[in-house]
Amino acid sequence: MKRLSDVKRIGFGAMRLTGPGIFGPPADPAEARRVLLRAVDLGVDHIDTSDYYGPYVANDLIRETLHPYPPELVLVTKVGARRSDDGGWHPAFSPDEIRSAVHDNLGRLGVERIAAVNLRKMDGWEGSMADQWTVLAELRMQGLIGDLGLSSVSPAEVEELQQIAPVACVQNHYNLAHRQDDDFIDALNEQGIFYVPFFPLGGFNPLDVETLDGVAAKHGATSMQVALAWLLQRSPNILLIPGTSSVAHLEENLAAGRLKLDDEDLVALDKIG
């Protein structure tokens, strides 16, 4: 089975295949399936998902649309949260909940092994995550998980958990205008750890910066393509998982991988952060 170290640098995030607020089914299930099929057709080999997207909607769509999976496709999921009936986000962080979530993801996706699982620290969690990480390390030893990752964590937490099991990737909030992790990314790169920014285009409040528009116009590209291209050139350990519910937007995101920013562009864009 392929691992994260084998994937192309632009993958696909499945979060937006669900309904508003990442809750419930998509408005157009057929288009959601077309997005997944087109992604694979265009060579995407890394899909990021989770049981709590929907909940279950994203994983069900992925299995129903793509199973049996192409051998080159790497599926990555997240555990540590659950959804309430009103769409709320809540911790599901006990060791037993972590173990159950991994098995639930295996079943929903229809696989015997998940290429990577990220432990997502929810807002408000205090204290060590060693017990939760130990559970994932045990499941990895059992052959149910390939690589282990962390989400919404600090450098100190990565350092602590590395003593229990290797950290393959970190998934934190980062983009052109939200750059608190600049030093963290560089440190992870030195350690050979991937960094996967969530909200690479601003999330629920898309990036809207005049400088971005100017660089985009220069290259005949969109501002969002420039934002993705900047991330790819920011550091070689960055992997992207932009999400969308539109085939056209998917194709636009993937085309950003062919956009090369020059030194003048990078100087202008660096001033945004």
Catalytic positions are 53
pLDDT reported for residue 124:
82
pTM comes to 0.96
pLDDT reported for residue 207:
77
pLDDT reported for residue 204:
63
125: exposed, middle or buried (C-beta count within 10 Å: 0-12, 13-18, 19+)?
middle
Contact 203, 178 (CB under 8 A): no
CA dihedral 271→206→179→216, nearest 10 degrees, is -40
Nearest to 232 by CA among 267, 200, 202, 207: 200
3-state helix, strand, coil in the chain (%, to 5): 45, 15, 40
Encode the chain (273 residues) as per-residue pLDDT tens digits.
Answer: 788 999 999 999 999 999 999 999 999 999 999 999 999 999 999 999 999 999 999 999 999 999 999 999 999 999 999 999 999 999 999 999 999 999 999 999 999 999 999 999 988 888 899 999 999 999 999 999 999 999 999 999 999 999 999 999 999 999 998 999 999 999 999 999 999 999 898 876 777 778 899 999 999 999 999 999 999 999 999 999 999 999 999 999 999 999 999 999 999 998 886
Sign, CA torsion 67/57/144/13:
positive
Domains of the chain by range and CATH? 4-209+237-255 (3.20.20.100)
